[in-house]
Structure 1
Protein backbone atom coordinates (compact mmCIF):
# COMPACT_ATOMS: atom_id res chain seq x y z
CA UNK A 1 0.00 0.00 0.00
CA UNK A 2 1.23 3.54 -0.75
CA UNK A 3 2.46 5.55 2.19
CA UNK A 4 -0.16 7.96 3.47
CA UNK A 5 0.47 11.67 3.99
CA UNK A 6 0.17 12.36 7.69
CA UNK A 7 -1.39 15.28 9.49
CA UNK A 8 0.39 18.60 9.31
CA UNK A 9 2.97 19.53 11.89
CA UNK A 10 4.95 22.17 10.01
CA UNK A 11 4.99 25.98 10.37
CA UNK A 12 2.95 26.50 7.19
CA UNK A 13 -0.54 25.15 6.64
CA UNK A 14 0.50 24.05 3.16
CA UNK A 15 3.48 21.99 4.38
CA UNK A 16 2.28 18.41 5.06
CA UNK A 17 4.30 15.75 6.84
CA UNK A 18 5.55 13.51 4.04
CA UNK A 19 8.66 12.16 5.74
CA UNK A 20 7.30 8.60 5.80
CA UNK A 21 6.27 8.86 2.16
CA UNK A 22 9.76 9.93 1.15
CA UNK A 23 11.32 7.04 3.06
CA UNK A 24 8.97 4.68 1.23
CA UNK A 25 9.76 6.31 -2.11
CA UNK A 26 13.49 5.75 -1.64
CA UNK A 27 12.94 2.02 -1.08
CA UNK A 28 10.70 1.52 -4.13
CA UNK A 29 12.13 0.52 -7.49
CA UNK A 30 11.02 2.45 -10.57
CA UNK A 31 7.55 1.34 -11.56
CA UNK A 32 3.83 1.94 -10.99
CA UNK A 33 4.04 1.78 -7.18
CA UNK A 34 6.92 4.27 -7.16
CA UNK A 35 4.97 6.63 -9.40
CA UNK A 36 1.88 6.46 -7.16
CA UNK A 37 3.83 7.47 -4.05
CA UNK A 38 5.68 10.19 -5.99
CA UNK A 39 2.40 11.62 -7.29
CA UNK A 40 0.91 11.63 -3.78
CA UNK A 41 3.84 13.65 -2.49
CA UNK A 42 3.63 16.13 -5.37
CA UNK A 43 -0.11 16.64 -4.89
CA UNK A 44 0.37 17.13 -1.15
CA UNK A 45 2.92 19.89 -1.68
CA UNK A 46 1.20 21.67 -4.60
CA UNK A 47 -0.47 24.26 -2.30
CA UNK A 48 2.99 25.36 -1.17
CA UNK A 49 4.16 25.62 -4.80
CA UNK A 50 1.10 27.75 -5.58
CA UNK A 51 1.88 30.00 -2.61
CA UNK A 52 5.44 30.52 -3.82
CA UNK A 53 4.18 31.27 -7.34
CA UNK A 54 1.86 33.89 -5.85
CA UNK A 55 4.86 35.87 -4.61
CA UNK A 56 5.70 36.67 -8.23
CA UNK A 57 2.26 37.85 -9.33
CA UNK A 58 1.78 41.29 -10.88
CA UNK A 59 5.11 41.07 -12.70
CA UNK A 60 3.68 40.81 -16.18
CA UNK A 61 3.40 37.02 -16.28
CA UNK A 62 0.21 34.96 -16.33
CA UNK A 63 -0.58 33.51 -12.88
CA UNK A 64 -1.47 30.09 -14.27
CA UNK A 65 1.85 29.95 -16.12
CA UNK A 66 3.68 30.76 -12.90
CA UNK A 67 1.81 27.97 -11.09
CA UNK A 68 2.85 25.50 -13.77
CA UNK A 69 6.48 26.59 -13.51
CA UNK A 70 6.31 26.24 -9.73
CA UNK A 71 4.85 22.75 -10.15
CA UNK A 72 7.78 21.82 -12.38
CA UNK A 73 10.15 23.05 -9.69
CA UNK A 74 8.27 21.00 -7.10
CA UNK A 75 8.58 17.84 -9.22
CA UNK A 76 12.31 18.43 -9.57
CA UNK A 77 12.61 18.90 -5.81
CA UNK A 78 10.72 15.65 -5.12
CA UNK A 79 12.89 13.70 -7.57
CA UNK A 80 16.15 15.07 -6.19
CA UNK A 81 15.36 15.07 -2.48
CA UNK A 82 17.28 12.62 -0.31
CA UNK A 83 15.67 12.18 3.13
CA UNK A 84 18.79 10.40 4.44
CA UNK A 85 20.65 13.71 4.50
CA UNK A 86 18.50 14.83 7.41
CA UNK A 87 17.24 18.00 5.77
CA UNK A 88 13.52 18.80 5.85
CA UNK A 89 11.90 18.65 2.44
CA UNK A 90 10.40 22.13 2.78
CA UNK A 91 13.81 23.76 3.31
CA UNK A 92 15.04 21.98 0.18
CA UNK A 93 11.94 22.52 -1.97
CA UNK A 94 11.43 26.26 -1.38
CA UNK A 95 14.73 27.42 -2.98
CA UNK A 96 14.34 24.83 -5.74
CA UNK A 97 10.87 26.05 -6.69
CA UNK A 98 11.80 29.72 -6.30
CA UNK A 99 14.88 29.21 -8.45
CA UNK A 100 12.78 27.57 -11.16
CA UNK A 101 10.41 30.56 -11.22
CA UNK A 102 13.29 33.04 -11.33
CA UNK A 103 14.87 31.13 -14.23
CA UNK A 104 11.55 31.31 -16.03
CA UNK A 105 11.51 35.09 -15.71
CA UNK A 106 15.14 35.32 -16.77
CA UNK A 107 14.92 33.06 -19.80
CA UNK A 108 11.38 33.44 -21.14
CA UNK A 109 9.78 36.76 -20.20
CA UNK A 110 12.27 39.35 -21.46
CA UNK A 111 11.48 40.92 -24.83
CA UNK A 112 15.18 40.96 -25.73
CA UNK A 113 18.27 39.13 -24.55
CA UNK A 114 19.76 40.85 -21.52
CA UNK A 115 22.84 39.48 -19.70
CA UNK A 116 22.13 37.96 -16.31
CA UNK A 117 24.34 40.56 -14.61
CA UNK A 118 22.22 43.38 -16.04
CA UNK A 119 19.02 41.57 -15.02
CA UNK A 120 20.29 41.44 -11.44
CA UNK A 121 21.19 45.14 -11.59
CA UNK A 122 17.65 45.85 -12.78
CA UNK A 123 16.18 43.98 -9.82
CA UNK A 124 18.34 45.87 -7.32
CA UNK A 125 17.53 49.21 -8.93
CA UNK A 126 13.82 48.40 -8.97
CA UNK A 127 13.90 47.48 -5.27
CA UNK A 128 15.75 50.70 -4.47
CA UNK A 129 13.21 52.76 -6.42
CA UNK A 130 10.36 51.06 -4.55
CA UNK A 131 11.97 51.78 -1.17
CA UNK A 132 12.73 55.40 -2.06
CA UNK A 133 9.20 55.99 -3.33
CA UNK A 134 7.82 54.84 0.01
CA UNK A 135 10.06 57.12 2.07
CA UNK A 136 9.60 60.17 -0.20
CA UNK A 137 6.58 59.61 -2.48
CA UNK A 138 6.62 63.13 -3.95
CA UNK A 139 10.32 63.12 -4.78
CA UNK A 140 11.78 61.64 -7.95
CA UNK A 141 14.99 59.85 -6.88
CA UNK A 142 18.23 60.87 -8.60
CA UNK A 143 20.67 58.35 -9.99
CA UNK A 144 23.07 58.95 -7.11
CA UNK A 145 20.29 58.39 -4.56
CA UNK A 146 19.29 55.15 -6.26
CA UNK A 147 22.93 54.03 -6.38
CA UNK A 148 23.38 54.71 -2.67
CA UNK A 149 20.20 52.85 -1.77
CA UNK A 150 21.05 49.85 -3.98
CA UNK A 151 24.72 49.77 -3.00
CA UNK A 152 25.82 50.14 -6.62
CA UNK A 153 28.08 52.44 -8.57
CA UNK A 154 26.36 55.11 -10.64
CA UNK A 155 27.49 53.35 -13.81
CA UNK A 156 25.88 50.06 -12.75
CA UNK A 157 22.82 51.97 -11.63
CA UNK A 158 22.50 53.49 -15.09
CA UNK A 159 22.68 50.00 -16.63
CA UNK A 160 19.94 48.87 -14.28
CA UNK A 161 17.75 51.87 -15.12
CA UNK A 162 18.13 51.20 -18.83
CA UNK A 163 17.25 47.55 -18.27
CA UNK A 164 13.97 48.63 -16.68
CA UNK A 165 12.85 49.64 -20.17
CA UNK A 166 14.04 46.39 -21.80
CA UNK A 167 11.72 43.93 -20.10
CA UNK A 168 8.79 44.36 -22.49
CA UNK A 169 8.78 45.55 -26.09
CA UNK A 170 6.47 48.33 -27.25
CA UNK A 171 4.35 47.49 -30.27
CA UNK A 172 4.97 49.57 -33.38
CA UNK A 173 1.20 50.08 -33.49
CA UNK A 174 1.08 51.55 -29.98
CA UNK A 175 0.03 55.19 -29.87
CA UNK A 176 2.67 57.58 -28.59
CA UNK A 177 1.81 59.39 -25.35
CA UNK A 178 1.03 63.05 -25.92
CA UNK A 179 0.83 62.60 -29.68
CA UNK A 180 -2.05 62.95 -32.08
CA UNK A 181 -4.76 60.32 -32.00
CA UNK A 182 -3.73 57.34 -34.10
CA UNK A 183 -0.08 58.45 -34.32
CA UNK A 184 1.95 55.35 -33.50
CA UNK A 185 5.60 54.51 -32.95
CA UNK A 186 5.72 53.01 -36.43
CA UNK A 187 4.84 56.41 -37.90
CA UNK A 188 8.10 57.84 -36.53
CA UNK A 189 10.30 55.33 -38.35
CA UNK A 190 12.05 56.40 -41.50
CA UNK A 191 11.86 54.67 -44.85
CA UNK A 192 14.58 53.53 -47.20
CA UNK A 193 15.97 56.32 -49.39
CA UNK A 194 15.36 55.39 -53.05
CA UNK A 195 18.59 57.18 -53.97
CA UNK A 196 20.55 54.49 -52.11
CA UNK A 197 19.77 52.09 -54.96
CA UNK A 198 21.80 54.24 -57.36
CA UNK A 199 24.89 54.63 -55.16
CA UNK A 200 26.56 51.45 -56.46
CA UNK A 201 25.74 52.35 -60.06
CA UNK A 202 27.21 55.85 -59.70
CA UNK A 203 30.39 54.51 -58.13
CA UNK A 204 30.71 51.92 -60.90
CA UNK A 205 30.59 54.48 -63.74
CA UNK A 206 32.90 57.07 -62.16
CA UNK A 207 36.15 55.64 -63.68
CA UNK A 208 34.55 55.53 -67.13
CA UNK A 209 33.24 59.08 -66.91
CA UNK A 210 36.75 60.34 -66.17
CA UNK A 211 37.89 58.89 -69.49
CA UNK A 212 35.25 60.74 -71.55
CA UNK A 213 36.02 63.93 -73.39
CA UNK A 214 35.13 67.21 -71.71
CA UNK A 215 32.29 67.79 -74.18
CA UNK A 216 30.80 64.34 -73.51
CA UNK A 217 31.06 64.96 -69.76
CA UNK A 218 29.24 68.30 -70.13
CA UNK A 219 26.49 66.74 -72.23
CA UNK A 220 25.90 63.89 -69.74
CA UNK A 221 25.93 66.30 -66.81
CA UNK A 222 23.46 68.68 -68.44
CA UNK A 223 21.16 65.86 -69.52
CA UNK A 224 21.10 63.68 -66.39
CA UNK A 225 21.94 66.13 -63.60
CA UNK A 226 20.82 69.44 -65.06
CA UNK A 227 17.59 67.97 -66.47
CA UNK A 228 18.12 69.85 -69.73
CA UNK A 229 16.45 68.63 -72.90
CA UNK A 230 18.50 67.48 -75.84
CA UNK A 231 17.25 70.48 -77.80
CA UNK A 232 18.46 72.89 -75.09
CA UNK A 233 21.88 71.18 -74.94
CA UNK A 234 22.20 71.29 -78.75
CA UNK A 235 21.35 75.01 -78.82
CA UNK A 236 23.91 75.79 -76.07
CA UNK A 237 26.70 73.81 -77.76
CA UNK A 238 25.83 74.91 -81.28
CA UNK A 239 25.26 71.42 -82.65
CA UNK A 240 22.19 69.53 -83.85
CA UNK A 241 19.84 67.72 -81.54
CA UNK A 242 20.46 64.51 -83.51
CA UNK A 243 24.19 64.87 -82.79
CA UNK A 244 23.52 65.36 -79.09
CA UNK A 245 21.35 62.23 -79.06
CA UNK A 246 24.07 60.22 -80.80
CA UNK A 247 26.79 61.45 -78.40
CA UNK A 248 24.67 60.54 -75.37
CA UNK A 249 24.03 57.05 -76.76
CA UNK A 250 27.71 56.48 -77.52
CA UNK A 251 28.82 57.71 -74.09
CA UNK A 252 26.28 55.51 -72.27
CA UNK A 253 27.31 52.51 -74.37
CA UNK A 254 31.00 53.05 -73.54
CA UNK A 255 30.22 53.34 -69.84
CA UNK A 256 28.05 50.22 -69.90
CA UNK A 257 30.72 48.19 -71.69
CA UNK A 258 33.40 49.26 -69.21
CA UNK A 259 31.24 48.36 -66.19
CA UNK A 260 30.45 44.96 -67.68
CA UNK A 261 34.13 44.25 -68.37
CA UNK A 262 35.11 45.12 -64.81
CA UNK A 263 32.27 43.02 -63.41
CA UNK A 264 33.26 39.97 -65.49
Structure 2
Protein backbone atom coordinates (compact mmCIF):
# COMPACT_ATOMS: atom_id res chain seq x y z
CA UNK A 1 0.00 0.00 0.00
CA UNK A 2 1.51 3.33 -1.03
CA UNK A 3 2.16 5.91 1.66
CA UNK A 4 -0.19 8.60 0.31
CA UNK A 5 -3.08 6.16 -0.09
CA UNK A 6 -3.11 5.60 3.68
CA UNK A 7 -3.45 9.29 4.50
CA UNK A 8 -6.53 11.44 4.77
CA UNK A 9 -7.28 14.89 6.14
CA UNK A 10 -9.14 15.41 9.43
CA UNK A 11 -10.00 19.01 10.25
CA UNK A 12 -10.43 18.13 13.92
CA UNK A 13 -6.68 17.50 14.28
CA UNK A 14 -4.90 20.05 12.08
CA UNK A 15 -1.51 19.31 10.51
CA UNK A 16 -1.59 15.66 11.60
CA UNK A 17 -1.91 13.02 8.87
CA UNK A 18 -4.60 10.43 9.38
CA UNK A 19 -3.76 6.76 8.82
CA UNK A 20 -6.63 4.49 7.87
CA UNK A 21 -5.06 1.34 9.41
CA UNK A 22 -1.76 2.03 11.24
CA UNK A 23 -1.02 -1.67 11.77
CA UNK A 24 -0.96 -2.23 7.99
CA UNK A 25 1.57 0.50 7.18
CA UNK A 26 4.66 -0.95 5.48
CA UNK A 27 7.89 -0.75 7.54
CA UNK A 28 9.50 1.75 5.14
CA UNK A 29 6.44 4.01 5.25
CA UNK A 30 6.24 3.57 9.03
CA UNK A 31 9.75 4.98 9.39
CA UNK A 32 8.81 8.09 7.39
CA UNK A 33 5.53 8.56 9.21
CA UNK A 34 7.15 7.97 12.60
CA UNK A 35 9.59 10.81 12.01
CA UNK A 36 6.66 13.07 11.09
CA UNK A 37 4.69 12.16 14.21
CA UNK A 38 7.76 12.56 16.44
CA UNK A 39 8.17 16.06 15.00
CA UNK A 40 4.56 16.76 15.98
CA UNK A 41 5.11 15.49 19.53
CA UNK A 42 7.84 18.08 20.06
CA UNK A 43 5.41 20.95 19.45
CA UNK A 44 2.15 19.52 20.76
CA UNK A 45 1.11 19.96 24.37
CA UNK A 46 1.14 16.70 26.32
CA UNK A 47 -2.34 15.59 27.35
CA UNK A 48 -4.15 17.17 24.41
CA UNK A 49 -6.16 15.02 21.95
CA UNK A 50 -3.65 15.89 19.20
CA UNK A 51 -0.72 14.71 21.33
CA UNK A 52 -2.49 11.49 22.30
CA UNK A 53 -3.40 10.81 18.68
CA UNK A 54 0.20 11.20 17.50
CA UNK A 55 1.45 8.96 20.32
CA UNK A 56 -1.14 6.27 19.60
CA UNK A 57 -0.25 6.32 15.90
CA UNK A 58 3.41 5.78 16.76
CA UNK A 59 2.51 2.81 18.96
CA UNK A 60 0.28 1.13 16.38
CA UNK A 61 2.59 1.73 13.42
CA UNK A 62 5.59 0.26 15.24
CA UNK A 63 3.96 -2.86 16.66
CA UNK A 64 5.89 -4.83 14.03
CA UNK A 65 9.04 -4.07 16.06
CA UNK A 66 7.49 -5.84 19.04
CA UNK A 67 6.59 -8.87 16.94
CA UNK A 68 10.11 -8.91 15.53
CA UNK A 69 11.72 -8.79 18.98
CA UNK A 70 9.28 -11.33 20.42
CA UNK A 71 10.19 -13.71 17.59
CA UNK A 72 13.54 -14.29 19.27
CA UNK A 73 11.69 -16.05 22.08
CA UNK A 74 9.30 -18.16 19.99
CA UNK A 75 10.59 -21.34 21.65
CA UNK A 76 8.68 -20.34 24.78
CA UNK A 77 5.42 -21.59 23.29
CA UNK A 78 2.23 -19.90 22.01
CA UNK A 79 0.70 -19.28 25.45
CA UNK A 80 3.76 -17.49 26.79
CA UNK A 81 4.21 -15.60 23.52
CA UNK A 82 1.05 -13.62 24.26
CA UNK A 83 2.60 -12.39 27.51
CA UNK A 84 5.89 -11.67 25.74
CA UNK A 85 4.17 -9.47 23.15
CA UNK A 86 2.28 -7.59 25.87
CA UNK A 87 5.51 -6.97 27.78
CA UNK A 88 7.24 -5.95 24.55
CA UNK A 89 4.54 -3.32 24.02
CA UNK A 90 5.54 -1.77 27.34
CA UNK A 91 9.10 -1.51 26.04
CA UNK A 92 7.86 0.09 22.81
CA UNK A 93 5.85 2.69 24.71
CA UNK A 94 8.84 3.52 26.91
CA UNK A 95 10.97 3.94 23.78
CA UNK A 96 8.41 6.28 22.19
CA UNK A 97 8.19 8.41 25.32
CA UNK A 98 11.99 8.71 25.58
CA UNK A 99 12.98 9.07 21.92
CA UNK A 100 14.29 12.40 20.67
CA UNK A 101 14.83 13.29 17.01
CA UNK A 102 17.97 15.17 18.04
CA UNK A 103 19.62 11.78 18.71
CA UNK A 104 20.00 11.43 14.92
CA UNK A 105 19.38 7.69 15.05
CA UNK A 106 16.59 5.66 13.52
CA UNK A 107 13.74 5.02 15.92
CA UNK A 108 13.91 1.29 15.14
CA UNK A 109 17.53 1.15 16.34
CA UNK A 110 16.53 2.99 19.49
CA UNK A 111 13.37 1.00 20.23
CA UNK A 112 14.44 -2.62 19.76
CA UNK A 113 16.86 -2.64 22.76
CA UNK A 114 14.09 -1.19 24.93
CA UNK A 115 11.66 -3.88 23.80
CA UNK A 116 14.12 -6.76 24.22
CA UNK A 117 15.25 -5.38 27.58
CA UNK A 118 11.68 -5.28 28.87
CA UNK A 119 11.09 -8.88 27.75
CA UNK A 120 14.28 -10.10 29.41
CA UNK A 121 13.33 -8.24 32.59
CA UNK A 122 9.98 -10.03 32.49
CA UNK A 123 11.72 -13.41 32.31
CA UNK A 124 14.09 -12.45 35.11
CA UNK A 125 11.31 -11.32 37.44
CA UNK A 126 8.67 -13.96 36.73
CA UNK A 127 10.16 -17.22 35.51
CA UNK A 128 12.53 -18.00 38.37
CA UNK A 129 10.97 -20.29 40.96
CA UNK A 130 12.99 -18.62 43.74
CA UNK A 131 14.63 -15.23 43.97
CA UNK A 132 18.14 -15.31 42.52
CA UNK A 133 20.45 -12.27 42.26
CA UNK A 134 20.66 -10.79 38.77
CA UNK A 135 24.40 -11.46 38.70
CA UNK A 136 23.78 -15.19 39.03
CA UNK A 137 20.87 -15.17 36.59
CA UNK A 138 23.17 -13.73 33.94
CA UNK A 139 25.95 -16.13 34.91
CA UNK A 140 23.52 -19.03 34.46
CA UNK A 141 23.00 -18.10 30.80
CA UNK A 142 26.74 -17.75 30.28
CA UNK A 143 27.26 -21.10 32.02
CA UNK A 144 24.78 -22.85 29.72
CA UNK A 145 26.58 -21.58 26.60
CA UNK A 146 30.02 -22.43 27.99
CA UNK A 147 28.92 -25.93 29.04
CA UNK A 148 27.48 -26.68 25.61
CA UNK A 149 30.60 -25.40 23.84
CA UNK A 150 33.01 -27.42 26.00
CA UNK A 151 30.84 -30.51 25.88
CA UNK A 152 30.90 -30.53 22.08
CA UNK A 153 34.62 -29.76 22.05
CA UNK A 154 35.69 -32.29 24.73
CA UNK A 155 32.97 -34.91 24.13
CA UNK A 156 32.33 -35.01 27.88
CA UNK A 157 30.96 -32.82 30.64
CA UNK A 158 33.40 -30.00 31.46
CA UNK A 159 34.92 -29.53 34.90
CA UNK A 160 34.41 -26.43 37.02
CA UNK A 161 38.00 -25.40 36.32
CA UNK A 162 37.50 -25.65 32.54
CA UNK A 163 34.28 -23.65 32.74
CA UNK A 164 35.99 -21.08 34.93
CA UNK A 165 38.75 -20.56 32.37
CA UNK A 166 36.34 -20.22 29.44
CA UNK A 167 33.93 -17.91 31.29
CA UNK A 168 36.74 -15.85 32.87
CA UNK A 169 35.06 -16.24 36.25
CA UNK A 170 36.37 -17.56 39.58
CA UNK A 171 35.57 -21.22 40.18
CA UNK A 172 33.42 -20.26 43.17
CA UNK A 173 31.16 -18.13 40.95
CA UNK A 174 30.81 -21.00 38.50
CA UNK A 175 29.66 -23.24 41.35
CA UNK A 176 27.21 -20.54 42.48
CA UNK A 177 25.84 -20.25 38.93
CA UNK A 178 25.32 -24.02 38.81
CA UNK A 179 23.49 -23.89 42.11
CA UNK A 180 21.42 -20.90 40.99
CA UNK A 181 20.29 -22.79 37.89
CA UNK A 182 18.31 -25.06 40.21
CA UNK A 183 16.10 -22.09 41.06
CA UNK A 184 14.89 -21.59 37.50
CA UNK A 185 12.27 -24.32 37.61
CA UNK A 186 10.50 -25.92 40.53
CA UNK A 187 8.72 -29.22 40.97
CA UNK A 188 5.75 -29.83 43.23
CA UNK A 189 6.37 -32.07 46.24
CA UNK A 190 3.20 -33.86 45.19
CA UNK A 191 4.59 -34.63 41.72
CA UNK A 192 4.16 -38.32 40.87
CA UNK A 193 7.43 -40.06 40.04
CA UNK A 194 6.51 -43.73 40.41
CA UNK A 195 8.42 -46.47 42.17
CA UNK A 196 6.51 -46.58 45.44
CA UNK A 197 5.24 -49.69 47.20
CA UNK A 198 1.84 -49.14 45.63
CA UNK A 199 3.35 -48.63 42.20
CA UNK A 200 3.24 -44.85 42.52
CA UNK A 201 5.04 -42.37 44.74
CA UNK A 202 5.40 -38.61 45.09
CA UNK A 203 8.55 -36.58 45.35
CA UNK A 204 8.09 -35.76 49.03
CA UNK A 205 8.46 -39.47 49.84
CA UNK A 206 12.11 -39.36 48.81
CA UNK A 207 13.39 -36.03 50.12
CA UNK A 208 13.57 -34.31 53.46
CA UNK A 209 14.21 -35.67 56.93
CA UNK A 210 12.88 -35.09 60.39
CA UNK A 211 14.70 -32.24 62.12
CA UNK A 212 15.32 -33.34 65.67
CA UNK A 213 16.39 -29.83 66.66
CA UNK A 214 12.90 -28.58 65.81
CA UNK A 215 11.70 -29.99 69.13
CA UNK A 216 14.03 -27.58 70.92
CA UNK A 217 12.31 -24.47 69.55
CA UNK A 218 9.57 -24.62 72.19
CA UNK A 219 12.16 -25.16 74.91
CA UNK A 220 14.16 -22.13 73.76
CA UNK A 221 11.06 -19.95 73.89
CA UNK A 222 10.26 -21.16 77.39
CA UNK A 223 13.87 -20.75 78.52
CA UNK A 224 14.31 -17.12 77.40
CA UNK A 225 12.23 -15.46 80.17
CA UNK A 226 13.79 -17.74 82.79
CA UNK A 227 17.29 -16.62 81.82
CA UNK A 228 16.13 -13.00 81.80
CA UNK A 229 14.97 -13.45 85.41
CA UNK A 230 18.49 -14.43 86.59
CA UNK A 231 20.72 -11.82 88.15
CA UNK A 232 23.44 -10.23 86.02
CA UNK A 233 26.30 -12.43 87.25
CA UNK A 234 24.37 -15.66 86.71
CA UNK A 235 23.42 -14.57 83.18
CA UNK A 236 27.08 -13.72 82.55
CA UNK A 237 28.16 -17.18 83.70
CA UNK A 238 25.57 -18.88 81.49
CA UNK A 239 26.71 -16.77 78.52
CA UNK A 240 30.40 -17.47 79.02
CA UNK A 241 29.85 -21.20 79.47
CA UNK A 242 27.32 -21.95 76.73
CA UNK A 243 27.77 -19.12 74.21
CA UNK A 244 31.47 -18.29 74.46
CA UNK A 245 32.14 -21.93 75.43
CA UNK A 246 34.72 -21.03 78.08
CA UNK A 247 35.90 -23.62 80.60
CA UNK A 248 35.02 -23.29 84.25
CA UNK A 249 38.64 -22.37 84.94
CA UNK A 250 38.55 -19.57 82.36
CA UNK A 251 35.27 -18.28 83.79
CA UNK A 252 36.84 -18.33 87.29
CA UNK A 253 39.78 -16.25 86.06
CA UNK A 254 37.41 -13.76 84.46
CA UNK A 255 35.27 -13.41 87.63
CA UNK A 256 38.18 -13.65 90.09
CA UNK A 257 36.84 -16.79 91.82
CA UNK A 258 37.89 -20.41 91.98
CA UNK A 259 36.86 -23.07 89.51
CA UNK A 260 35.05 -24.89 92.34
CA UNK A 261 33.00 -21.78 93.07
CA UNK A 262 32.12 -21.42 89.38
CA UNK A 263 31.00 -25.07 89.36
CA UNK A 264 28.66 -24.46 92.31
CA UNK A 265 27.26 -21.26 90.76
CA UNK A 266 26.73 -22.94 87.41
CA UNK A 267 25.04 -25.96 89.03
CA UNK A 268 22.70 -23.64 90.97
CA UNK A 269 21.76 -21.71 87.79
CA UNK A 270 21.06 -24.87 85.81
CA UNK A 271 18.95 -26.35 88.61
CA UNK A 272 16.88 -23.16 88.74
CA UNK A 273 16.39 -23.13 84.97
CA UNK A 274 15.49 -26.84 84.91
CA UNK A 275 12.88 -26.40 87.63
CA UNK A 276 11.48 -23.41 85.80
CA UNK A 277 11.09 -25.42 82.58
CA UNK A 278 9.32 -28.22 84.43
CA UNK A 279 6.95 -25.72 85.98
CA UNK A 280 6.19 -24.20 82.57
CA UNK A 281 5.66 -27.63 81.06
Q: TM-score, normalised by structure 1?
A: 0.65
The verdict on how the C-alpha distance between 1:41 and 1:260 changes in structure 2, with shifts beyond 3 A counting, is closer
Do 2:147 and 2:157's aligned partners in 1 also have CA atoms closer than 8 Å?
Answer: no
Structure 2 residue 76 is the aligned partner of structure 1 residue 69: no
How far, CA to CA, are the matches of 2:217 and 2:115 in structure 1? 59
* Aligned equivalents of 2:84, 2:26: Cα separation in 1: 28
The structure-2 alpha-carbon separation of the partners of 1:262 and 1:160, relative to structure 1 and needing over 3 Å to count, comes to: same
The SS at the match of 1:110 is coil
CA-atom RMSD in angstroms: 3.4
1:148 aligns with 2:155: no
The count of corresponding residues between Structure 1 and Structure 2 is 204
Over 3 Å counting, the alpha-carbon distance change for 1:38 and 1:185 in structure 2 is same
State the partner residue of 1:24: 40
Matched-pair contact (CA < 8 Å) for 2:65–2:108? no
State the distance in 2 between where 1:98 and 1:260 align.
Answer: 61
Distance 2:76 2:143 in 1: 15
CA offset at residue 16 of structure 1? Answer: 3.6
Taking the aligned partners of 2:177 and 2:277, their CA distance within structure 1 comes to 55
How far apart, in 1, do the equivalents of 2:169 and 2:216 lie? 49
Aligned with 1:172: secondary structure? coil
Query: 1:232-247 maps to which residues of 2 (within 5 A)?
Result: none
Is 2:56 the counterpart of 1:39?
Answer: yes
Q: How does 1:112-261 map to 2 (within 5 A)?
A: 112-135=130-153, 138-176=155-193, 179-180=195-196, 181-188=199-206, 189-191=208-210, 196=215, 200=219, 259=276
2:102 is aligned with 1:84: yes
Q: CA separation in 1, counterparts of 2:277 and 2:152?
A: 72
> What is the TM-score normalised by the length of structure 2?
0.62
Contact 2:87/2:119, CA 8 A, preserved across alignment: yes
